[in-house]
Amino acid sequence: MIVLAPMEGLLDFVLRDVLTRVGGIDRCVSEFIRITDQLLPERVFTRIVPELHNGGRTGAGVPVRAQLLGSDPACMADNAARLASLGPHGIDINFGCPANVVNRHGGGAALLKEPETIHAIVAAVRRAVPAHMPVSAKMRLGYHDDALALDCAQAIASGGAAELVVHARTKAQAYRPPAYWERIADIRAVVSIPVIANGEIWTVDDAHRCREASGCDMLMIGRGAVVDPGLGMAIKASANTSEEGAKAVLTWPQLVPHLLDFWHIVRTRLDTRAQAGRLKQWLNFLRRRFPEAELAYQALKTIKDPELINAWLMALEPQALPQWSEVCEPA
């Protein structure tokens, strides 16, 4: 199983839609919904997870688990109950966000210093939602260090979570390589629930090494899938020696229609002021994998007018990129 990671400010419903159309993704987790001291209205949940209007699935039919972030067990439970009534394919709890603005308020990775609070949150959410609805959690190895990694994992499991994703770094290690996949194996040894390995999976080779070190068959990929939207397919194809499996790696001509789909969703669903930046954000990631994306990024990086960007993109052909001068004069 390949799960698409939640990433605040990057892996939102737009990319979930497009990346699941590409293929290779079995499930998604939404970016977190912040829970403080109030019961959120339904519109907040559906704004962050609009897939709730589509039976909890992306347009390609891939199920989405909605993620909650908060530190008060009772308030988390109340909001989980309301969220559950909207029909997500499970509820995930964030114990891994390293952002200082979140950690200062006791959320995300800050809770990894308090296994007993983690247990209370998971248990409260589990009690609040229907028995058939999966409750899962995502954690890092710890806050300053990984001394409490096993305690936190056991707190999650004993609280009633059905599944655990482990990002194999501490909050202090942020996103700096390497990821310590072998520590996930230590966690697997002390919990009886399924464990999904996450962190620093950029290539098929990374996926194989992660599986070997962690002992996990299931993987969660994030930035690696943003850079290479075909990564999930490639990981799966690598286990298939047939010619058909070998063709599953995504090429630039195959990506271009998905890039245009992405732009269409951005144009129709996001505020005009955010449209140009949203496209350039993804192109900035894609250029690490595709030389053609580098050309696109360089051509568009100073352009802010969505109409000019639209004209340039509409001239895209699968085998080539137009020169900016062939479409219109620079602004």
CB atoms under 10 Å from CB of 8, counted, come to 18
CA–CA distances in Å: residue 295 to residues 194, 282, 286: 42, 13, 11
Q: What is the CA radius of gyration of the chain?
A: 20
Report the C-alpha gap between 109 and 97 in whole angstroms: 5
Please indicate whether residue 210 is annotated as part of the active site. Answer: no
Tokens of 179: 């990821």
With 0-12 / 13-18 / 19 or more C-beta atoms within 10 angstroms meaning exposed / middle / buried, residue 106 is middle
Nearest Cα to Cα of residue 300 among 282, 321, 329, 324: 324
Q: Concatenated DSSP letters for 133-148?
A: S-EEEEEES-SSSSTT
Among 28, 97, 152, 216, the active-site one is 97
Helix (H, G, I), strand (E, B) or coil at 299: helix
Q: Concatenated DSSP letters for 255-276?
A: HHHHHHHHHHHHHHHS-HHHHH
Residues noted as catalytic:
97
